[in-house]
Amino acid sequence: MTARLRESLHMAAADVPAYPVYERALATARRSRRRNALAAVAALVLVALVGAALPRAVRPALDPPAAGVGAALPDRVGVPPFGSLHATDRPRLGPASVIFTGQAPGLMYGDEGSIIAVVGADADRYRIIKGGIEAQAGQDTVLSPDGRRIAFTSISSAPPRVDIVDLATGHGRTVSSGVSGTVMVEAAGWSPDGRAVVVRDTVPANPERSAYRQVLSIVWLDDDRRTRLADDEALGSPVAFAPDGVRLAFQTGRTVSISELDGRRLSSFTLAPGTELAGKGAWSTDGRTLTVTRRDGGSWSLRRIDPATGRDLGAMDTPTVSGVTAIRLLGWATDGSARVVAYLPEPRTPAVFDAPLDMDQRLAYGNVGTVRVLSLGPGADAPTTLLTAPRGVVAIDVSDDVIRSGRTRDASPPDGMGPRFWFWAVLLVTVGVAGIAAYRARRDRGGRDALIGRGSDVRPAGH
């Protein structure tokens, strides 16, 4: 190459604008970082919005109804979906119409722990509570008369106590009976005004713990006052408060006792063979008589007795219930009909339920296949089914307000997946997307830094 040609090329190169490799690379890297930062911020905002919006998506259009207002018995219940909200989650449920327990899939957790299913007073809003092993709604897991609170055996190992959850506020508290040496405390019933709860303790009867006795106490929630009502080897499950709230009836073995709230015994009498205190709704609406259930072969009927003497006052003009292990009286509707829980036998059980059998065995998990709520109307030829439940739902309780109102509604239990499942699913997906975006941003930034490192040494001729 001649000197003249070299000079001509240098002059031509000097007239060509220089390409800003370094500056352009820096600008591109800054834009990419801004885009990735905005994507990460958007992902975090999405997480926050999902967390705020999902609970509101299941919020009813109106606030939960006041106790008893619009409350109705659903004509069927279903197993709570996987991922259902807990009773203490927001939005608050408010009063419930029904609670139920059992062994159906979705009603158990961990090592045979029981899920207590809770159904809203006026709509199919479901909540769950983790209860103890083989919790029995209506037996040791009881709904307050207004449907607002649930008392159940605490799942905590020590000390034994009863937990109470307020469905309107989400707040909880514990109740102990004050009985020393107790190994288990169960809820047995609520006073009509909801100010007191009856608890049943199981206490060793000897140092070897080869036998146990049960202690029945009433606990006032306002000031934690406790009054012992009974101490016996075989306390029955039903505890029935009179409508005036100053007397209650309970069963001990084959004996029914009537007591005042201060523990003073008013009367005691032995039940006739084949009869049982009917349930929490055993008192008549005027408080003058008690109701017992009587088993005749495979059929169950309701009878009146005198609460002072136990004298049989005759059969009620209500239909009998057949083909069940037992019935329990929930209470009385405004039309005078009795509302009862019918326990249908588990088809695979070997027990013969038209023979004498302890009530505890009749209501045991393995012997009950499902439950129904029936109406036994005065003068009716047959029971009317008000509520059905899936197989494996073996115990149920209904609020007194719902029973008294007599209202029922068409139900559509939720299915699919619950709100908690979708919340966590969206959260995990969002976090995953944000993580992928951050990884790609880091990888791209590393590649650009390498490019910038190489490009910083590139300069047009003449620079």
Sequence ranges of the domains in the chain: 19-70+420-463, 71-406
What is the rounded CA–CA span in Å between residue 229 and residue 189?
13
To the nearest whole number, what is the mean pLDDT of the chain?
85
Is 134 within 8 Å of 186 (Cβ atoms)?
no
**What type of residue sits at position 47?**
V
Backbone φ and ψ of 393, nearest 5°:
-85, 110
Class of domain 71-406 as given by CATH: mainly beta
**pLDDT of amino acid 57:** 40
pLDDT by position in tens, the chain (length 463): 566 666 665 665 555 555 555 555 555 556 666 565 555 545 554 544 444 444 444 444 334 444 445 899 999 999 999 999 999 999 999 999 999 999 999 999 988 889 999 999 999 999 999 999 999 999 999 999 999 999 999 887 678 999 999 999 999 999 988 899 999 999 999 999 999 999 999 999 999 999 999 999 999 999 999 999 999 877 777 899 999 999 999 999 899 999 999 999 999 999 999 999 999 999 999 999 999 999 998 899 999 999 999 999 999 999 999 999 999 999 999 999 999 999 999 998 888 898 889 999 999 999 999 999 999 999 999 999 999 999 999 999 999 999 999 999 999 999 887 677 555 567 777 787 777 777 777 776 666 666 556 555 544 544 4
Q: Across-strand partners of 230? A: 216
- The string of pLDDT tens digits covering residues 168-224 is 999 999 998 889 999 999 999 999 999 999 999 999 999 999 999 999 999 999 999
Q: Is 379 left (phi over 0), alpha (psi -120 to 50) or beta?
A: left
In terms of DSSP H, where are the helices of 58-180? none
- Kindly report the number of other CB atoms within 10 A of residue 336's CB atom: 13
Q: What pTM does this model have?
A: 0.82
pLDDT in tens, 292-314: 999 998 899 999 999 999 999 99
The SS3 call for residue 304 is strand
**Tens of pLDDT along 5-60?**
666 656 655 555 555 555 555 555 566 665 655 555 455 545 444 444 444 444 44
Residue 286 in contact with residue 279, Cβ under 8 Å? no
Q: Please tell me the distance from the alpha carbon of residue 34 to that of residue 256, in angstroms, as a whole number.
A: 78
